[in-house]
Copies of this chain bind each other. A is one copy, B any other.
């Protein structure tokens, strides 16, 4: 498989981290995907993985000239969609940072290109493959909490000092699509239902000079089956916190309650008295899974359809927050 790397802004490390698990990979080229984007991080990660790659001036030229089989897209978030669309139109596989697009119009273009491409696409919902989330998902699918009725998900990050691409809605897309997308994806993945409506709110107040960046956001989804799912997102985690991020989910079902907190999985159900701490599964690499799925060797944890549905949910939640109204799906 010949791969091309476009951009060095998002979680390109998921792709480079997967390279060592793969056989017969050639990195056909790397290129910035957005104006002023440095490729140094990607170059270092590639080097660390034992690879080097010809450099191209821009992503479209890379697609046209290096002709990769698979494009990894992780540039400024507002530029994901145009490379994804272009690569799909040329019959390439696409491994793209989430959200797939930062506008519903761009998302529709990518979806249409995907529908006729016959190739694969997955968005970088990397938290799905971590030990806690894999373990929790297995427990839920094994029926440990019965039928899901209610979900609360949380993303909380340190703000630190964020650079220019985070400060403008055009390049950043918004805190709900960027940070919230993970938690919104968990809702989709764990419930296995579809989004029916969303009401959301977000605020740029107290963002310490970070332009358009929203410091906090909350979304209230109603899923098919009448499941309620709330998503809380913030950049308010203090620098003194023990970790950068504080990812959590609590899922309450008819037969039990499961939680992820501090990267542990806690379960209460009728099988035991009190709170069980589940033994964790090992992590997997999402990019390695994706390449294996192309090669017909297993399924990728993230499907194209989920990547699109989650992106749509993020963008409709952002719209809801912008317009202070309920948005339907």
Q: In whole Å, how far is A82's beta carbon from the nearest beta carbon of chain B?
A: 32
Q: Contacts A216-B228, A240-B274, A270-B239 hold; do A234 and B199 have CB atoms under 8 A apart? A: no
Question: Are A156 and B228 neighbours in the complex by a CB distance under 8 Å?
Answer: no
List chain B residues, Cβ under 8 A from A271.
Answer: 240
B149 touches A238 (CB 8 A): no
Query: Is A123 located at the chain interface by the 8 A CB criterion?
Result: no
Determine if B216 and A149 form an interchain contact, defined as CB atoms under 8 angstroms apart: yes
Give the residues in chain B near A239, CB-CB below 8 Å: 270
Secondary structure type dominating chain A contacts: strand
Given A203-B149, A324-B326, check contact A268 B218 (CB 8 Å). no
Q: Which of B203, B253, B255, B269 contacts A228 (CB 8 A)?
A: B203
> Which residue of B has the minimal Cβ distance to A242?
B274
Interchain nearest-CB distance for A296 vs B (Å) = 40
When the two chains form their complex, are residues A230 and B232 in contact, meaning their CB atoms are under 8 A apart? yes
Whether A295 is near chain B, meaning CB under 8 Å from some CB there, is no
A234 to B230, CA, bound (A): 13
Interface bracket on A: 35 or more
Tell me the minimal C-beta distance from A245 to chain B in angstroms: 13
> What is the minimal beta-carbon distance from A260 to any residue of chain B, in angstroms?
14
CA distance A269 to B205 in the complex (A): 19
**Which residues on B sit within 8 Å (CB–CB) of A10?**
none
**Contact indicator per residue, chain A 231-273, by CB within 8 Å of chain B (1) or not (0):** 0101011111110000000101111110000000000111111
Chain B residues in 8 Å Cβ range of A203? 149, 226, 228
Partner among B156, B220, B253, B272 whose Cβ is within 8 Å of the Cβ of A236:
B253
Query: Can you add 15 more A-B contacts, CB < 8 Å, to A199-B220, A218-B229?
Result: A149-B215, A149-B236, A150-B216, A150-B218, A150-B236, A197-B324, A200-B220, A216-B252, A218-B228, A220-B230, A228-B232, A238-B256, A238-B257, A240-B270, A241-B268
